[in-house]
Amino acid sequence: MDPIIPSGNPLAAHADISGPESHDVNLSGAVFDNVNLSHARLHNVNLSEATVSAANLGGAVFRHIGPPLDKDGGQQRQKPVTFEEATLCGSTFRRVDLSDVRIIDCNIQGLSIDGIPIAKFLKVYRLRMQ
C-alpha cells in the first residue's frame, strides 16, 4: 500500500497514525474531533478563521504569530483573535502587540504588565475617578 495520499477525502477513525509528516498539504475545511496533537509541531501554518474548542494547550508555545514580514521588515495587522472561557494563568506574553486589546470580565488577580500589578493600578484609578 502506497503511504502517500495524492488527493481525495480520506477518513481516519479510531486509528493510531502517530508520527506522520505533512508537507505542502491543503487541509482547509478539515475537521479534527477528539484528536491528540500533543508534541505536534506546526510550522508555517495558516489557521485563519480556524476554531479551536475544548482544547488543552498546557505547555504549548506560540511564536511568530501573524502575517509574515514584508520586504521592509513591517508586518500587516491580522484579523483579531478571540479567547473565550480560557485558563491562561501563569502564562507569559513577550514582545506581543496588544494594541486595541479588550479584557472583559476576566480574573486579573496577579496580572502585571512590565512589573506593574494591574489590579492595584485599576483600584487606584477607580478611586481617583470617583
- Give the tens place of pLDDT for each residue, 76-97: 888 889 999 999 999 999 999 8
As a whole number, mean pLDDT of residues 68-72 equals 86
- Does residue 104 have a pLDDT over 90? yes
Q: Is 102 left (phi over 0), alpha (psi -120 to 50) or beta?
A: beta
pLDDT for the residue numbered 16: 86
- Does residue 57 have a pLDDT over 70? yes
Predicted model pTM:
0.71
Burial of 121 (C-beta count, 10 Å sphere; 0-12/13-18/19+) = middle
